[in-house]
Structure 1
Amino acid sequence: MSTTTLCWAVFEANGEYRGVVERAEAWLAKRAGGVSPEQLAPAIIRRYGKDRTFSVPILTHCALAGKVGWDRVLQLPFELAAFPQSWFAAMRLPVVSYALPALIAIGQARHAHRPTWNPLARLFRAAARNKTLSALQNIQPSNGGFLEATPLTSFVTMSLAGSGMAEHAVVGKGVEFLKGSVRKDGSWPIDTNLATWVTTLAVNSLGGSVDDLLSEKEREQIRDWLLGQQYRNVHPYTNAAPGGWAWTDLPGGVPDADDTPGALLALKNLGGDCTDAARMSVGWLLDLQNRDGGMPTFCRGWTNLPFDRSSPDLTAHAMRAWQAWRGELPDLRPRMDAAYSKAARYLANCDGEHGWVPLWFGNQHAGDEANWTYGTARVAEALNEQAQLELPGGAMRQRAARNCLLGLQGKDGGWGGFKNGPVSVEETALAVGALKGVDDGESRKSIEEGTEWLVCRVESGEWLEAAPIGFYFAKLWYFEKLYPMIFTVGAMERVAGKE
């Protein structure tokens, strides 16, 4: 619904695009009941629930295009951005922690086009206008792209430009970012690149074969490149402490609790003296852990909205990173052990009917868009470790993950994101790799069938076909062409017994 609404809004109803508009309106009529503001706006809001991070930007986009009135755009409290960042979690903002630019720009657009009737609120917002614009300018990356994300940068840029601020510096840098990131075919990627993320995934997929497949010089080059991506200063965007990694090597990245464990595991696999960087990074993860024992993506304590809460796949990733470096960081060992046990208890308490649901991955074929296979496979990787098995209830948690993965396998030997769902290379490879960590009598047949399924796809060339399992900001789907290759290599590495 999101992408269709965004595309529909930019086309005129008459002229050469009339057919495009009519087909889009017919599709939206089936999903939303119609395209009138009274029908479309509530449907967009329902799509995102109480999280206003992208329902409001999408409606702002429609309002700027003249498709809905500004009365249908909820006012975001941009004036709150004038307060210190340390207050944001306590204020329970209606947007997620990484959406501060949208809060400011779209909130100002709504205020400019339809200010509140409340004289005190109007006065307060007018007084906060320049200060919040300065805050927005201060957190804009040097290349203009907020989070390196085309959607977020576009929403910010159009909101300011459509509110009489087309000459503002933020708009100028945003336009330059968008002009510079357009592809030759006229499209834009959802994010500029995932260079750090896919590099660590690739290194970690090689497992015990890293030394055989990469020369010492190659390992050193990758290690130095990764070390160069670690944040050594407080991040202006999220106020994150030094020590973490983002998904990209570009200025718009923000350190997070999935890329940081991935980097820690990759550095461990690559070898070399990385102890100082690891100490800083492990401490960063320990400080990020939520009270419930789980790991959030960017900021501790932002539990108001789903994309800010603890996530089982991120928590499992952190557990593996802590365990990998435990022996080399004796000064942090007591904290790591306490955090590890707390994280295991969190995982024990957050499983569902078919296992664990991840945060940043999904399956568009599922009614609830949940990808049980991805989430459960990632959690199983942590539950399979000896340290976890030695905890109270550890073996029981491992069996639960194993049983869930066995139950999700399709009749042809492959896995989809849910029971009887369409199978994919990515989901099958992750399930095979996770089950190989158990490799008992009950899982052996499934491993063999899954491996055979993957081998057939490799031989036919189908293993290069990527599935859109990535679940991005605004519930937008994406695929990454390296995922099927990396995950397949990782599964085969484990099946070959070199992990």
Structure 2
Amino acid sequence: MAGELATNVTMEAEDLLLRHFLGIVTPDELADTARWIRSRQQPEGGWATFEGGPGDLSTTVEAYAALRLAGDPVDAEHLRRARRFVLAHGGIERTRVFTRIWLALFGEWPWDALPAVPPEVVLLPRWVPLNIYDFACWARQTIVPLAVVRTLRPIRPLGFGLAELRTGRRPAPAPPLRTRAGWLHRLDGVLHGYDRHPVGPVRRNALRRAAEWIIARQEADGSWGGIQPPWVYSLLALHLLGYPLEHPVLRAGLAGLDRFTIREDTPAGPVRRLEACQSPVWDTALAVTALADAGVPAGHPALRRAGDWLLAEEIRVTGDWAVRRPGTPPGGGWAFEFDNDGYPDTDDTAEVLLALGRAGAGEPTAAAVRRGHRWLHAMQCRDGGWAAFDVDNTRGIARDLPFCDFGEVIDPPSADVTAHVVEALAVQGGAGSPAVRRGVDWLLRAQERDGSWFGRWGVNHVYGTGAAVPALIAAGLPAEHPAVGRALDWLGRVQNPDGGWGEDIRSYRQPGWRGRGASTASQTAWALLALHAAGAGDTDRAWRGIGWLVERQRPDGGWDEDLYTGTGFPGDFSINYHLYRLVFPVSALGRLLGAGDAPR
């Protein structure tokens, strides 16, 4: 099972720019994609990164360039509005680095004015700070091909200019030298000097090694990491290194993008949009748990089929995670996507183990669960928490590098992931294990002063709290524990007058939005799951939340949810999981109304 994963129009804009650069874009692709991009423009002229959010400068510049590429005239009313928005927010000069890289590909920004990303980074040994394994898996898979593109500095004109988006402002000043970011900006100047006069044999070896590194990490579906950024940069890098479009690697990469493409007929005409990623393993695991919570018994054919499919998705090969866990045998991990064997993650693995425990037992399932427990134990970080993809990926200096101005680039432990792992291990007999006890201690230390927990992969403190409370209770913490009480008090304080819960994505940047926002089905369900776990399912706040869900259920059994409640990069990249609005409310209602702890 997999629901659509909706993001923002940078996916479509960059797809058109990629295809133009490679010379493979078609008139239908241009027209249908442009129709979708136009439909997402806000009245004031910009494009947002999430539903209901403010316009974003970089997203708007990329959308504008894509629409110009599709043939929209510069004096069209919607482009005039977009242009006013761009100029009012600083113009091209204030866009993020990744947007300016796209502009540089077409001669609309000087390569010399971009941060240096030398390909020699791929040669650094693992003990050297800022080697590629100091970056999160999604970042390293982007940095390596990006280093190739940045080094080769190609320019293939768009056929038009974007001078109308310039303000003529001077670049922002470098951070003060006394700061770490300031020191790294000065280091960037040194790297620029090396880029102008590289050591020839070293540079050639670095480019060769980078190509080998990239090719070795292509997935069976043609993607890189199953996500858009490393995918497009890897295609660009290999193409620039001389790989023809007919080469099997590039052919598979381009063909794989079709599986991420959604085509739909609308009253305005056909539209074409792209998913940044796909989540079949995650969605299937959550769906199994939801059905079981709703009363579908273990062993039911639907649960057994889903369980069999999940068993077949177990990753039995070594990936980048083994760099820091070289003695851990492969097996026992699951990824988010259909094909992402190089990058299983602890969060999906935990949810799969919980789902397998509800789907129906059998020796293959029991063996897979044992392997999953072994792998999760091995992936615990030294501080007792769990990160998503790597162990102890916490070198914060990486965040201050000049080219890292968008999205998280490291993968430290987080409350939501740690909670999911603790719950999975505890529910399946490990509540008293040292690993779970260390995980519980980590969660207690990570609780915010207001009683909530931060949500790394879901929005935001409602998500983190909805994960942490059930995990702590499953691990043996009594409902009377002060940490649980503070969490329930916080949920009570942030419950909306309509009975639901919601939290705006802006809470990642503005603390005043923490726990505040229009009620949504998924966020209301997360809060209810915490209340249920803590034995507060028969309280006024729980019944008001239940009432909110019941009153807003559609005739077909689902719920509407236009607001984004999923997180890619906190504050920078947000996701609308189309199944969240279904699986979490079903789980919450099933537990609360079917568990016997609340009258019907």
TM value normalised by structure 2 = 0.70
Tell me which of 191, 194, 206 is aligned to 2:279.
Answer: 194
Structure 2 CA distance, aligned partners of 1:459 and 1:311?
34
Unaligned runs of 5+ in 2: 1-55, 155-190, 264-270, 397-407, 504-513
Structure 1 CA distance, aligned partners of 2:353 and 2:387?
17
Q: Secondary structure at the match of 2:567?
A: strand
Give the aligned partner of residue 546 of structure 2: 451
Tell me which of 252, 259, 276 is aligned to 1:173.
Answer: 252
Deviates more, 1:431-440 or 1:101-110: 431-440
Give the aligned partner of residue 146 of structure 2: 106
Q: Secondary structure at the match of 2:553?
A: helix
- CA contact 2:211–2:238 (8 Å) conserved in 1: no
Structure 2 CA distance, aligned partners of 1:275 and 1:11?
53
Change (3 A) 1:70 1:163: farther
Q: Secondary structure at the match of 1:187?
A: strand
Structure 1 CA distance, aligned partners of 2:345 and 2:321?
12
Give the aligned partner of residue 34 of structure 1: 91
Question: Identity of paired residues, percent?
Answer: 25
Amino acid at match of 2:494: L
- CA contact 1:104–1:136 (8 Å) conserved in 2: yes
Tell me which of 182, 203, 210 is aligned to 1:125.
Answer: 203
Structure 2 CA distance, aligned partners of 1:246 and 1:172?
24
- CA contact 1:210–1:270 (8 Å) conserved in 2: no
Which fold has the larger relative contact order, with Cα–Cα distance below 8 Å and residues 6 or more apart in sequence?
Answer: 2
Q: Secondary structure at the match of 1:183?
A: strand
Change (3 A) 1:143 1:15: closer
Deviations 1:306-347 (A, max 9, x none): 5401100000000111112226xxxxx8xx611111111211
Deviations 1:192-241 (A, max 9, x none): x21110111111123455544x7533332222211111111212687574
Structure 2 CA distance, aligned partners of 1:166 and 1:373?
48
Give the aligned partner of residue 580 of structure 2: 483
Deviations 1:273-302 (A, max 9, x none): 222211111111111111111111101011
Tell me which of 450, 457, 471 is aligned to 1:382.
Answer: 471
Q: Secondary structure at the match of 1:389?
A: coil
Give the aligned partner of residue 413 of structure 2: 310
Structure 2 CA distance, aligned partners of 1:261 and 1:318?
5
Structure 2 CA distance, aligned partners of 1:494 and 1:108?
52
Amino acid at match of 2:441: R
Structure 2 CA distance, aligned partners of 1:322 and 1:409?
30
- CA contact 2:521–2:559 (8 Å) conserved in 1: yes
Change (3 A) 1:264 1:94: closer
- CA contact 1:315–1:343 (8 Å) conserved in 2: yes
In the alignment, does 2:533 pair up with 1:437? yes
Amino acid at match of 1:294: G
Structure 2 counterparts to residues 191-270 of structure 1, below 5 A: 191=277, 193-212=278-297, 216-235=300-319, 241-251=330-340, 254-270=343-359
Q: How many residues align?
A: 460
Change (3 A) 1:480 1:380: same
Give the aligned partner of residue 356 of structure 1: 453
Unaligned runs of 5+ in 1: 45-54, 328-332, 363-370
Structure 2 CA distance, aligned partners of 1:215 and 1:440?
30
Change (3 A) 1:211 1:415: closer
Change (3 A) 1:227 1:496: same
Structure 1 CA distance, aligned partners of 2:341 and 2:318?
14
- CA contact 2:319–2:341 (8 Å) conserved in 1: no
Give the aligned partner of residue 330 of structure 1: none
Structure 1 CA distance, aligned partners of 2:87 and 2:127?
42
Structure 2 CA distance, aligned partners of 1:459 and 1:172?
43
Deviates more, 1:12-21 or 1:224-233: 12-21
How far off its partner does 1:382 sit?
1.0
Structure 2 CA distance, aligned partners of 1:15 and 1:278?
54
Tell me which of 69, 82, 85 is aligned to 1:24.
Answer: 82
- CA contact 1:82–1:135 (8 Å) conserved in 2: no
Tell me which of 419, 422, 442 is aligned to 2:518.
Answer: 422
Give the aligned partner of residue 376 of structure 2: 285
Larger proportion of helix: 1
Give the aligned partner of residue 134 of structure 1: 212
Give the aligned partner of residue 177 of structure 2: none
Output the aligned Cα RMSD. Answer: 3.0
How far off its partner does 1:133 sit?
0.5
How far off its partner does 1:107 sit?
0.4
How far off its partner does 1:100 sit?
2.7
Amino acid at match of 2:256: F
Deviates more, 1:378-387 or 1:262-271: 378-387
TM value normalised by structure 1 = 0.83
How far off its partner does 1:120 sit?
4.8
In the alignment, does 2:353 pair up with 1:275? no
